[in-house]
Amino acid sequence: MTSEAGGKLETREIEFITKAVLAAMDKQKSDEKGYVVPVGVSARHVHLTQEHVEILFGEGYQLTKKKDLMGGQFASNETVTIVGIKLRAIENVRVLGPVRKASQVEISSTDALKLGIKAPIRESGDVAGSAPIALVGPKGALYLKEGCIVAMRHIHMSPKDAQAAGVKDGDIVSVKADNERGTIFNQVKIRVDDSFTLEMHIDTDEANAAKIATGNTVTIIK
């Protein structure tokens, strides 16, 4: 091999090594910065079965759409009053559609105090052994022996977003809000589905404490 050929080979090797090192440094910087996620502040709301829709709003009643949400859900025009066991009430609680297999009420811890109930922190759908609650609509009322929870904070992601963030469905991560409050949220669950749009959901208590509004961003720091 001539010295010229050897020099070209060394140059190619150096270029390859340099690119690899730069790529690794970029990845490290990305990991240090974390993955940026927009926030959606979730107010108190209700999910209902069709049977319960008809009890509250009348026989044969169908929820009517006010605004589309992610994952095929929508905010309906319908609202109900929720009542705690000490007859303390909160009016105009939005019903989300479409109907579900089980009815569920999601509130904040402050709401729970106002209602006089002990609502556990749970993932949506996990209502076994949760707090009892009564619901009052324009045509009737019903009592749920269980079904009232404070929703566990979580991040909705598409599979592509999850891959980019280096996480998978069911992972628990930490998230930083880099504002004047400088809040770090632990115990944030990752939820991945093709129908999801990238967004972290927190309740109004969490948002107010961290001075975060819908549309602000946070960073996954794992």
| Among 14-23, 27-36, 143-152, 210-219, the least confident range | 27-36
3-state secondary structure of 81: strand
Residue 5 pLDDT > 60, yes or no? Answer: no
Q: Once rounded to an integer, what is the mean pLDDT over residues 180-185?
A: 95
- What are the sequence ranges of the domains in the chain? 43-151
- Average of per-residue pLDDT values in the chain: 91
From 30-34, 67-71, 161-165, the region with the lowest mean pLDDT = 30-34
Q: Is the pLDDT of residue 85 over 90?
A: no
Give the three-state DSSP class for 180: coil
43: CB partners within 8 A, 6+ apart: 94, 203, 204
DSSP three-state, residue 153: coil
Query: Is the confidence at residue 6, as pLDDT, over 60?
Result: no
Q: What is the pLDDT of residues 124-163, one digit of tens each?
A: 999 999 999 999 999 999 999 999 999 999 999 999 999 9
Q: Return the sign of the alpha-carbon dihedral for residues 63, 68, 70, 71.
A: positive
Which range is least confidently modeled, 29-43, 73-87, 203-217? 29-43
Q: How far is CA 178 from CA 33, 67, 162, in A?
A: 11, 30, 21
User: Side chain identity at 148, as an amino acid letter?
Assistant: C
Query: Residue 132: which of 114, 151, 146 has the closest Cα?
Result: 146
